[in-house]
Structure 1
Amino acid sequence: MIEQIRFFGHSGSRVKGLVFCSSKVEAKELSDAFNTKGTYRTIALTGEDSQEKREDAIARLAGSGDYEVLRRDEQLDYIFTVDIFNEGVDIPEVNQVIMLRQTESPIVFIQQLGRGLRKFEDKEYVVILDFIGNYSNSYMIPLALSGDRSYNKDTLRKYVQSGNRIIPGKSTHHFLIKIKEKDYQVNFDVTQEQMLHYISQKLATGMRVRDLLALQFLLNGSEAILFDVEQELKSKYNNVLSELGKVNLVNILMNEFAVSGDAIKFKDCLFIKMNGSDYAISDEFKKALINEDFKNHIQQLIDLGVDRYKDMYMGVKLDNNPFALYEKYNYEQVCQLLEWPKNQIAQNIGGYKFDEATKTYPVFINYHKGDDVQDSIKYEDQFESQTLIKAISKNNRYLRSKDVNTAINADSLGVSMHLFVRKNKDDKESKEFYYLGTIHSTGKENARLIGYQQILM
């Protein structure tokens, strides 16, 4: 602890730190050990100590009150405690917070972190040293620094997915892991980082297991990925890999599914190559896997994705339906799960889109339109009841328009329509919709014409 305290330092003329311990015994023993070393002066405070003793210790740490001018033997460098400073105590002078207490509660974590986040004239920044690994709950740090105290489930979900990439302001973080007293450092090249990012973001969500099976077979040295995935899906998951599904899978593993910026961003993410009538591992992926650390990271992502699939999706999907009822999906995930050969950007979907090859027709509805939405596209979609929704077509459409006619006659045409709804477009990060199931036309042919829009029931 003393070695890392010296290494990371503090902001200000001297250190003024709080140390959160896991027990009263730990707090007292560590404080005694620090004092024995003679480098720092510390005290242990618990709920058993009087309010007078607490206030005196705080004044000695902060250098306030009767201790504005401190002699060396009067000052305190650290206060060791369990939880009495979690909340309700304001010590803006604190320039270092040390965490020795394991917690899975974001509220407790934020309370402890917050003891050092107050501004003070002799403090440009605060140093947080987490020796116990609370940072492994990666959403806690950005949640704490965001100032968001709503603890909304969707907000928490965003932080879980994005982790430390969305820390605001000028905060920095360093993760130093020690094994057998040696620094454990992992370095990846640009291609390896791209591949890890691609798999984490697009495949390890667990929404579909076939992509993860393909990666596992690649790691195992398979020379016929499509054949192996098809057999595994059938025998272990009672699932069928269609010809369209094969095209979709190949395009995803060769970065030919992506469009626009993603195609460039992940240009080196080529995981497979042609091998006769099937596919095997690409030269790029094979070269990257020479790095054992990289290979281990890939294996962990595969295991994580498979576990997510089993926990969240495996038992809840209906027959021949790739979606789980009431789960959230973004545009790209919908295109991927419907086995489209290429992704579609939101502008090309425009609320709904029919794919002829797969005979699938997703409908995306923003239920509340903002004031900034143009009247020409401010469609008044609404639920008439729990089982009936009124959905309005795009501009310049008639009954004979192909997309309108397909929607009205979807059942007879063998077209599968899926409904995705979100409250509004305020979710700028994930752009996700709740899946509400398959939908069917009421069969009414006297759809009313409003301007150039059709009401589709």
Structure 2
Amino acid sequence: MDFDQMIAQAAVSGLAAQQLTANNNLQPQLLTNTPSETIWEHLRQQLETCRTFCFAVAFISADMLPPFKAVLADLAEKQISGRLITSDYLGFNQPTALAELLKIPNLTVRISPLAGFHVKGYYFEHQAPTYQTMIIGSANFTRSALLQNYEWNLELNSLQQGTLTQRVQQELSQLWQTGQPLTVQWLKAYQLRYQASVRKPLTASYVEKNPIKPNQMQQSALQQLAALRQTNARRGLVISATGTGKTYLGALDVQQFAPRRMLFVVHREQILKKALASFREILGGPASDFGILSGNFQQFSAKYLFATIQTLNKPAVLQQFSPTTFDYLLIDEAHRTGAASYQRLLAYFQPKFCLGMTATPERSDDYSIFQLFDYNIAYEIRLKDALAAKMLCPFHYIGIRDYQYHGQLLTDQAPLRQLIAPKRVAYVLKQLEYYRDHTQPNRGLIFCTRRQEAEQIAQALSDQGHPAQAVDGTDSIRRRENLVRKLEVSQLEYLVTVDIFNEGIDIPTINQIVMLRNTQSQIVFLQQLGRGLRLAPGKKFVTVLDFIGNYQNNYLIPLALTEDHSLNKDHARQTLELEPVLGLSTITFTKVARQQIYNSLQRVKLDAFLRLRQAYQQLKQRLGRIPLLADFARQQLVDVQVFAQNQQIDNYYQFLLKMKEDLPVLPTLADQWLSFVTKELINGMRQHELLLLQKLSCQPSLTRQDYLVCLQQHNCYCNQAVLDSVAKILNLDFYQVKTGKQLQAAKYGNQPLVVEKNGCYVLNQTLHHWLTEFPWFQRLWKDGLTAGLLRSSQYCSQQPLTLYQKYTRKDVCRLLNWPLDVSAPLYGYRVGKTACPIFITYQKDAAQNARAGSYSNYFLNRATIRWYTRSPRHLDSSEVQQLLARDQQGNYQVTIHLFVKRSDAEGKNFFYLGTCRPIRAREVQLKNVQQRTKTAVELLLQLQQPLAYQYYRLLTGAKNN
């Protein structure tokens, strides 16, 4: 079928009668904003694959332009340009927002003179093959419309000769010809008209009359803090993302506690005055109730005292207070309390309650601030949840490549001369100007690696009319405060900083964060990102520019943006490829930047033992005891499957020994059985074995009827084939196959854990004895079962395989109830009596392609994939006949299960895409690398459920429809 026929068939299928073989990607479809996809993602893909485009939209908002600029920058590299038609209808479009469009060199803009111009249409020209895509509906080019609002937009694909296409082209042509070019002169005239129609803003006096009310986070935290104190707890910790209102929360809790006196401690003097002002807003009362204790102020008798740790630690100062002077002690940036100065302070004072507040409690040393606060985490909210709750300002993160010095990207060891090279500085300034938003006063914070680099950048910005100052740890507190004040009142546009302002600085009006340094840790990345996320009047969004070079730790960027601590590479790859939308916040990587991150991700061993050790130590600090696997699962930290897949250990007991924990020596067989649970069951893909072992851990036998009741209570699917499979797994019959020279079952002691006798499941007597007599073995055994059951929440309990979850060939053998693990010789597919799993690596490397010859498994659309059998095979071959055989009701006798991964770089796991059925079969002649022709059968397989848009992009790397 040629492409013209595919377009025609797709149109008929979408608008007249469903066609099973129609190209699902080309069919008319309704686009809306949902939790799994947004209209912007569809527009972005069209932009990335078109040869030209034309938008006709009534309304454009500046808060959607940063990611658009990033995509257009990549298109400019490919010499692709487009047009945009808008208007001044209703005075919605800000002049400053329209001015931003003039920065985009490969975009030409015209203003329609039509009264009531209210269209919302997006038109794309594609080539190879040549066709057109139109997206027409309700969505303007605004952040709310493209990311969040309930909108209807119809996507249509057509050929040049299509009547609708020609009509749209004519309308666009007419609009373009009659439109006024967007120029600086036109904007000046529009600015005058626009200013005359703008309403006056609310006065400050009106705002002041509205009392501060606790936000969502504060309300929950206040309730939990009160509940904590009812347990007679003396200390508590609040973990809250930067910008979510920790200072106000502290004041609100002081208000509900009503102390006789309060002490607020922080590590930097410039924070004290703002904290005092915030507390006074909440608490009220005379000014004399509030005082500061620092190098410049000595107001010892204030009811509410705000002090720096440096001043308090002076013996002469500390002796001015008795240990019980303050009822309530509040420590800001509590992750610093491991320092000796804070230790002395906490050892001296004896308040009725001590509250610690921090956004980043994790520490790289062995000190646990959780221990310091008695392991009482009163409340915790992280970045993603805070964004969802609209407690933070939305951001547009844009990862762009750094300057190429003599054709090479900067590395971690780049010398200063490369960082401050005039061409690099000019490149940085060009990017800042391109992505800068003129609809709001520019207040930017730039993070650099060295003082001289910061000075050069600041000077260059100032020379171009953008006042900037460099600042680092050598500057006095007074100078820092003065520079921050100048930034707030727009006397400066940028502060260029080195090693400071990661934390402990509150400049809510910051609307641009620039990262001119390589990412060293997720914590620092989030600290720097958080500097711009505070809400402020008139602040619409934050632009985050990350200059990405050839840095070793680039892989940390997608992990930090999604606060992912799972150590699972798949999550990072998905963030990188799909560029997810977080509420009203977007993530965009330009092509070169994305490749640099991907290269870093490929090089790093994310689940390396060192990282497991670090994660273990951090969790141990949090819990105050030896963490178990179930703790990692409950805290949503390291994916417990990462422990199972680690090559240096076979089970968590061995891991604890490597952590130097003092554990009793276990018998070899006990160790092997722990390995069985870890390697085979902890993935949680099927609850059945875990539930049976959990029951038998408390009683040595269980009737089949009681087991069936247990499965029913957990909503688990069940049939005789599943019960037989469970029996073969737990008596190790499934593993009676060789891997190398050894039986798999030998790794697990080759003794059945459970046998079925007379309608009862009976636990191995030795295993029962060890569970009774060895507490640590019992603890680790039950922990492995619990961790697996916790992980099982990712899977559907009512069917053996869960859509879009990942499985290995071995997993599939078990979950399809096969009697033996035949994954080693399984390769591409295996036709069983009732099921045939097909495994496809979608993008093969050059060597694989050479071996495969003409084989090319290919998604024709999101519902149909072209797949080839082995060769030689014919239509009358037995396995082909099995796949095509139907019963008397016309149903296929063999269920085909489709598993796909993008490339071998992604390991042994395949996404499960569901069941599919043959809709066409034919013999084809294929040539191998030696140009020898063999016969194979080509099947068109239709998925029962069309592939979700995001997974289609993820698996195919789709750059066209």
Instruction: Return the match for 2:659 from 175, 178, 181.
Output: 175
Q: For residues 269 and 422 of structure 1, what CA distance do their matches in structure 2 show?
A: 35
Please say if residues 868 and 936 of structure 2, whose CA atoms lie closer than 8 Å, have aligned partners that are also in contact.
yes
Deviation, 1:204, is: 1.8
Matches of residues 42-441 of structure 1 in structure 2 within 5 Å? 51-52=473-474, 107-108=522-523, 139=567, 160=639, 161-163=641-643, 165=646, 175=659, 184-224=662-702, 226-237=704-715, 239-242=717-720, 244-258=721-735, 259-261=737-739, 262-268=744-750, 270-289=752-771, 290-309=773-792, 311-314=793-796, 321-346=799-824, 348-356=825-833, 359-373=834-848, 375=850, 377-378=852-853, 379-409=855-885, 412-428=891-907, 431-441=908-918
Q: For residues 396 and 387 of structure 1, what CA distance do their matches in structure 2 show?
A: 27
Q: For residues 860 and 605 of structure 2, what CA distance do their matches in structure 1 show?
A: 30
Secondary structure at 1:351 match in 2: coil
Deviation, 1:249, is: 0.7
Please say if residues 218 and 225 of structure 1, whose CA atoms lie closer than 8 Å, have aligned partners that are also in contact.
no
* AA aligned opposite 2:753: F
Structure 1, 211-220 or 433-442: larger mean CA deviation: 211-220
The CA RMSD measured in Å over matched residues stands at: 4.2
Deviation, 1:421, is: 0.4
Deviation, 1:435, is: 0.5
Q: For residues 803 and 605 of structure 2, what CA distance do their matches in structure 1 show?
A: 20
Deviations, residues 401-454 of structure 1 (Å, cap 9, x unaligned): 1111222336644221110001122234xx000011100010x35444442211
Q: For residues 386 and 336 of structure 1, what CA distance do their matches in structure 2 show?
A: 28
Please say if residues 734 and 819 of structure 2, whose CA atoms lie closer than 8 Å, have aligned partners that are also in contact.
yes
Q: For residues 383 and 89 of structure 1, what CA distance do their matches in structure 2 show?
A: 41
Q: For residues 757 and 918 of structure 2, what CA distance do their matches in structure 1 show?
A: 45
Choose 1 or 2 for highest CA Rg: 2
Instruction: Return the match for 1:455 from 913, 934, 938.
Output: 938
Please say if residues 377 and 395 of structure 1, whose CA atoms lie closer than 8 Å, have aligned partners that are also in contact.
no
Deviation, 1:219, is: 0.7
Residues 237 and 448 (structure 1), Cα distance of their counterparts in 2 relative to 1, 3 Å cut = same
Please say if residues 248 and 342 of structure 1, whose CA atoms lie closer than 8 Å, have aligned partners that are also in contact.
no
Please say if residues 567 and 642 of structure 2, whose CA atoms lie closer than 8 Å, have aligned partners that are also in contact.
yes
* AA aligned opposite 1:107: Q
Deviations, residues 110-160 of structure 1 (Å, cap 9, x unaligned): 99xxxxxxxxxxxxxxxxxxxxxxxxx7849xxxxxx999569x9768974
Please say if residues 694 and 782 of structure 2, whose CA atoms lie closer than 8 Å, have aligned partners that are also in contact.
yes
Please say if residues 204 and 305 of structure 1, whose CA atoms lie closer than 8 Å, have aligned partners that are also in contact.
yes
Secondary structure at 1:396 match in 2: coil
Please say if residues 866 and 938 of structure 2, whose CA atoms lie closer than 8 Å, have aligned partners that are also in contact.
yes
Q: For residues 108 and 186 of structure 1, what CA distance do their matches in structure 2 show?
A: 36
Deviation, 1:398, is: 0.9
* AA aligned opposite 1:363: I
Please say if residues 226 and 246 of structure 1, whose CA atoms lie closer than 8 Å, have aligned partners that are also in contact.
no
Deviation, 1:89, is: 11
Deviation, 1:216, is: 1.2
Secondary structure at 1:441 match in 2: strand
Q: For residues 207 and 50 of structure 1, what CA distance do their matches in structure 2 show?
A: 51
* AA aligned opposite 2:831: F
Q: For residues 682 and 848 of structure 2, what CA distance do their matches in structure 1 show?
A: 35
Deviation, 1:333, is: 0.8
Secondary structure at 1:426 match in 2: helix
Q: For residues 732 and 716 of structure 2, what CA distance do their matches in structure 1 show?
A: 27
In structure 1, what is the equivalent of residue 398 of structure 2? none
Q: For residues 186 and 387 of structure 1, what CA distance do their matches in structure 2 show?
A: 55
Count residues in correspondence.
330
TM-score with structure 2 setting the length: 0.31
Q: For residues 156 and 328 of structure 1, what CA distance do their matches in structure 2 show?
A: 18
Residues 241 and 29 (structure 1), Cα distance of their counterparts in 2 relative to 1, 3 Å cut = farther
Residues 252 and 238 (structure 1), Cα distance of their counterparts in 2 relative to 1, 3 Å cut = closer
Please say if residues 188 and 294 of structure 1, whose CA atoms lie closer than 8 Å, have aligned partners that are also in contact.
yes
Structure 1, 321-330 or 221-230: larger mean CA deviation: 221-230
Query: Where do 5+ consecutive residues of structure 1 fail to align?
Result: 1-20, 34-48, 55-81, 91-104, 112-136, 141-146, 178-183
Deviation, 1:256, is: 1.4
Deviation, 1:269, is: 5.4
Please say if residues 198 and 269 of structure 1, whose CA atoms lie closer than 8 Å, have aligned partners that are also in contact.
no
In structure 1, what is the equivalent of residue 341 of structure 2? 29
Please say if residues 408 and 456 of structure 1, whose CA atoms lie closer than 8 Å, have aligned partners that are also in contact.
no
Residues 25 and 239 (structure 1), Cα distance of their counterparts in 2 relative to 1, 3 Å cut = closer
Residues 351 and 418 (structure 1), Cα distance of their counterparts in 2 relative to 1, 3 Å cut = same
Q: For residues 157 and 437 of structure 1, what CA distance do their matches in structure 2 show?
A: 29
In structure 2, what is the equivalent of residue 95 of structure 1? none
Please say if residues 223 and 280 of structure 1, whose CA atoms lie closer than 8 Å, have aligned partners that are also in contact.
yes
Q: For residues 523 and 677 of structure 2, what CA distance do their matches in structure 1 show?
A: 32
Deviations, residues 296-320 of structure 1 (Å, cap 9, x unaligned): 11212222222222x21237x6xxx
Please say if residues 754 and 762 of structure 2, whose CA atoms lie closer than 8 Å, have aligned partners that are also in contact.
yes
Deviation, 1:224, is: 3.5
TM-score with structure 1 setting the length: 0.61
* AA aligned opposite 1:162: V
* AA aligned opposite 2:777: F
In structure 2, what is the equivalent of residue 68 of structure 1? none
Please say if residues 722 and 817 of structure 2, whose CA atoms lie closer than 8 Å, have aligned partners that are also in contact.
yes
Deviation, 1:334, is: 0.7
Q: For residues 173 and 291 of structure 1, what CA distance do their matches in structure 2 show?
A: 17
Secondary structure at 2:733 match in 1: coil
Secondary structure at 2:339 match in 1: helix
Deviation, 1:166, is: 5.5
In structure 1, what is the equivalent of residue 289 of structure 2? none
Percent sequence identity over aligned pairs:
21
